[in-house]
Amino acid sequence: MIAPHPPKAVLETALYVSDLDGAAAFYRDVVGLDEHLRVPGRHVFLRCETSMILLFNPNETQVSDGKFPVPPHGAIGEGHICFCAERGEMDRWRDHLTSNGIEIEADFEWPGGARSIYVRDPALNSVEFAEAKLWGFDT
């Protein structure tokens, strides 16, 4: 049997939050993503151009209730997400985040020259904005 080609991208990523409304407001109003789907108390899905950010209430997804045909999943504690930003946008992201009352946790250049900015969402997940060259990709 011939193995399939490796995936070309991440289609979705999930973060687990107890305050869905607060987290959704951060990703919608501060980051600028479009809300795609909401099931009150369970999840909010947001579109990030060609991928999805899935915000789940872990209390509702760690057990199977039979409503959704997916296995139980969830995490407790702080997760991480990194958004790709272009070099010329990094200062604008820093200014935009601080003007929205978001504290910059770190802003630095990696040894290879890529810049990263780290903040926290309302659920204390680590949110990074970084240049694609951090991982050797071109933007």
Mean pLDDT computed over every residue of the chain: 91
pLDDT at residue 65 in the model: 67
57-102 pLDDT, tens per residue? 998 888 776 777 778 788 888 999 999 998 889 999 999 999 999 9
pLDDT > 70 in the chain, percent: 98
Pairwise CA distance, residues 128 & 105, whole Å: 10
The 3-state DSSP class for residue 37 equals: strand
**pTM score:** 0.90
Q: Give me the amino acid identity at 98.
A: T
Higher pLDDT, 92 or 10: 92
The domain limits of the chain are 10-64, 77-139
Among 3.40.50.2300, 3.10.180.10, 3.30.43.10, 3.30.870.10, what is the CATH number of 77-139? 3.10.180.10
Kindly indicate the confidence band of residue 139, based on its pLDDT and cuts at 50, 70 and 90. Answer: low
Q: Give me the amino acid identity at 104.
A: I
Mean pLDDT of 119-134: 95
Domain 10-64 has CATH 3.40.109.10: no
Kindly indicate the confidence band of residue 1, based on its pLDDT and cuts at 50, 70 and 90. Answer: confident
DSSP 60-104: HHSS--SSSSS------S--EEEEE--GGGHHHHHHHHHHTTPPP
